[in-house]
Amino acid sequence: TLRMRVPALLILLICFRGRAGPSPHFLQQPEDLVVLLGEEARLPCALGAYWGLVQWTKSGLALGGQRDLPGWSRYWISGNAAKGQHDLHIRPVELEDEASYECQATQAGLRSRPAQLHVLVPPEAPQVLGGPSVSLVAGIPVNLTCRSRGDARPTPELLWFRDGVRLDGITIHQTVLKEGTPESVESTLTLTPSSHDDGATLVCRARSQALPTGRDTAITLSLQYPPEVTLSAAPHTVQVGEKVTFLCHATAQPPVTGYRWAKGGSPVLGARGPRLEVVADASFLTEPVSCEVSNAVGSANRTTALDVLFGPILQAKPEPVSVDVGEDASFICAWRGNPLPRVTWTRRGGAQVLGSGPTLRLPSVGPEDAGDYVCRAEPGLSGLGGGAAEARLTVNAPPVVTALHSAPAFLRGPARLQCLVFASPAPDAVVWSWDEGFLEAGSRGRFLVETFPAPEGHEGQGPGLISVLHISGTQESDFSRSFNCSARNRLGEGGARASLGRRASASFLEQKNLMRIPGSSDGSSSRGPEEEETGSGEDRGPIVNTDHSDLVLEEEGALQTKDPTNGYYKVRGVSVSLSLGEAPGGGLFLPPTSPLGPPGTPTFYDFNPHLGIVPPCRLYRAQAGYLTTPHPRAFTSYIKPTSFGPPDLAPGTPHFPYAAFPTPSHPRLQTHV
């Protein structure tokens, strides 16, 4: 019974003591430590409520429980053991000391967390291959190699410096020679040296955590380089015919061995040495002079062009331009000269400067912009050169149709109506229409249509056509109806309306005697030249106005002009007379043969006799009569409408090509072309 009570009492005593005081515990545990090779390492360890044995382990190996750690000459434990201090010291630290360490309270069964000791080895001064003096050739890329030495830990970083400044932006490549071991590394610096690098000092620095300031190795660059050339000319600015001296200066290592001169890429024969004398001409402005200097390493050259003064010379004439209305137009006129010529643009016959420089741009052109444009270059300082060149602007727009004056006709006699069409591009069709029909070309019953080229209109106006409607055997209805002349191109339509005037006196037989044309049944004219002139004068009757009241006749028979085109052209009044054949009784009209050539030959009308314009330009003359057209200068002014509205069709008038379009009236600004 006593034996059973003793263990129980011991257990109660132990429990009582546990409740009476704290249990053993760590007050401080060791942590990872980094230390340089050869320095001292200290790993702290402090315990509370423990007075038993304390020992350290290295990678699981016990170092012993004594304070001086016999067998480990560089290891010892320090601190006040009564206060629980048991710090491990290592001095001097060697590479073999790099391990994992624990502090253990063996009687209490306590172990600290493991602490890793890292040993750092500072790098040694690196080695630059080929140093301390490296010979290089300017302009040739080279690789400079820097290699670390020793067992540095961690692996060092190799940096390049010049004059204390780190070389950034230059190719640097670093290689570990033995992967996974603290062996040396290499750094390669790639550069292309120049002559300015001669004598320069470069530094390779090995740097790591063990030695942040690093260790340096310096080298000196020794450069060989080809010649560096400067070329000058005196004087640099000259007039044609003046003398110029070129001087070629060079520095080189090794020294210069020869000079070579060229002009515009072609060698200058007989030129040797650093000096060249020439007589300047205009070619020196575009054919520079070059000097090439050589030595054992290579060669270099420099080029300079003289500033040779000469007057403007035309290089490229402006080309004619054709654009649609509303589009932009531009002309280019190239002049060559030194100094650069001052180029101005005007319209032919005008003094206003429209622009300057080689290019003239006209935004959103209208019909009023059509015409000839002149680019002019002023003479140079010498007074020579200069001049002018011009080109035409054609503005494509809807056709402009004008009803021309026609002589009044007898009832049941022949008659004719005429319209003048200007259009660019040329009209696709010109059509005459009336109440019961229309006709574009050829004959239809009593009606015949012929179309002739008209003399050229004003500049930029485009080609012109005259369309003539012949009527054989007029009827009462012909004098009360309106005849419409319409034209169309890809940009739009235009039209004019004309009426037939009636001559009240003379019988039909008198008409027949007066109005005989080639191609009638007897094949001859009943009038000679004298009668023709008289008949021409007799044909003049009252003016038949179009719907626009375009034409007015004065007492003397001269024609005054209003604006029949309402905004496109101002056209002088025109009196037109052409003897016609007729088919008695109003039968089918047969056209006469052409007086100028075989069928299909274009025939021109001559308006000059009726306008009194000199010189006369009679292009069409039949045996018994002629039709006249205005001289090109008859169209003297040009008017732009405020807008291009759709045609104003009369009630019951069919659509184009059968319809006639009166020209709307708009306020407009008159511009002389």
Residue-wise pLDDT tens digits, 319-344: 999 999 999 999 999 998 888 888 99
- In sequence order, the β-bridge partners of residue 336 are 313
> Which residue bears the tokens 């709307």?
664
In this prediction, residue 93 carries a pLDDT of 94
Q: Is the pLDDT of residue 112 over 60?
A: yes
Token code pair at residue 564: 């029949």
Comparison of pLDDT for 38 and 544, the residue scoring more: 38
Euclidean distance between the first and the last CA atom of the chain, given in angstroms as a whole number: 148
Token code pair at residue 165: 């400044």
Comparison of pLDDT for 279 and 599, the residue scoring more: 279
Closest CA to 130 of 46, 20, 204: 204
Which range of 186-195, 267-276, 547-556 scores highest in mean pLDDT? It is: 267-276
What does pLDDT average to over the chain?
74
- pTM exceeding the 0.95 threshold for the entire prediction: no
Task: Name the fold adopted by 122-305.
Answer: Immunoglobulin-like (2.60.40)
Query: If you average pLDDT over residues 214-227, what whole number do you get?
Result: 91
| Distance between CA atoms of residues 152 and 567, nearest Å | 97
Q: Is the pLDDT of residue 31 over 60?
A: yes
At 310, the pLDDT band (50, 70, 90 cuts) reads confident
Closest CA to 463 of 424, 503, 504: 424
In this prediction, residue 608 carries a pLDDT of 39
Comparison of pLDDT for 635 and 89, the residue scoring more: 89
CA distances from 399 to 130, 289, 457, 492 (A): 89, 60, 13, 7
Q: Taking a C-beta distance cutoff of 8 angstroms, is the pair 112, 26 a contact? A: yes
> Which residue bears the tokens 């209109």?
457
Q: Residue 473, Cα to own-chain centre: how many angstroms? A: 67
In sequence order, the 6+-apart residues with CB closer than 8 A to the CB of 664 are 566, 641, 645, 648
Question: What is the CB neighbour count within 10 angstroms for residue 600?
Answer: 6
Handedness of CA 124, 129, 131, 137 (dihedral sign): negative
| Distance between CA atoms of residues 644 and 302, nearest Å | 63
Q: What is the DSSP string of 496-518?
A: EEE---B--SS-HHHHHHH---T
Q: Taking a C-beta distance cutoff of 8 angstroms, is the pair 193, 135 a contact? A: no
At 575, the pLDDT band (50, 70, 90 cuts) reads very low
Q: Is the pLDDT of residue 8 over 70?
A: no
Token code pair at residue 82: 């009564």
Task: Report the share of the chain in percent with pLDDT over 70.
Answer: 68
Least confident of 128-132, 170-174, 642-646: 642-646
At 16, the pLDDT band (50, 70, 90 cuts) reads very low
Query: If you average pLDDT over residues 421-426, what whole number do you get?
Result: 88
Q: Taking a C-beta distance cutoff of 8 angstroms, is the pair 116, 131 a contact? A: no
Closest CA to 105 of 29, 54, 60: 54
Q: What are phi and psi of 445, to 5 degrees?
A: 60, -120
Closest CA to 634 of 658, 673, 607: 607
Strand locations in 558-616 (E): 559-561, 569-570, 575-576
Token code pair at residue 17: 């003591």
CA angle, 224 then 228 then 233, to 5°: 165
User: 311-396: what CATH class?
Assistant: mainly beta
Domain 25-120: give its CATH superfamily. Immunoglobulins (2.60.40.10)
Q: Is the pLDDT of residue 653 over 50?
A: no
- In sequence order, the β-bridge partners of residue 217 are 204
Comparison of pLDDT for 239 and 614, the residue scoring more: 239
Q: Where do the CATH 2.60.40.10 domains begin and end in the chain?
A: 25-120, 122-305, 311-396, 405-499
Q: HEC string of 439-463?
A: ECCEEECCEEEEEEECCCCCCCCCC
Q: Taking a C-beta distance cutoff of 8 angstroms, is the pair 612, 581 a contact? A: no
In this prediction, residue 441 carries a pLDDT of 86
The long-range contacts involving 57-61, CB below 8 angstroms and separated by at least 24 positions, are 57/101, 57/102, 57/104, 58/99, 58/100, 58/101, 59/99, 59/100, 60/100
Q: Taking a C-beta distance cutoff of 8 angstroms, is the pair 462, 367 a contact? A: no
**Residues, the chain:** 673
Query: If you average pLDDT over residues 21-46, what whole number do you get?
Result: 92
In this prediction, residue 75 carries a pLDDT of 95
CATH 2.60.40.10 applies to domain 405-499: yes
Q: What are phi and psi of 10, to 5 degrees?
A: -60, -40
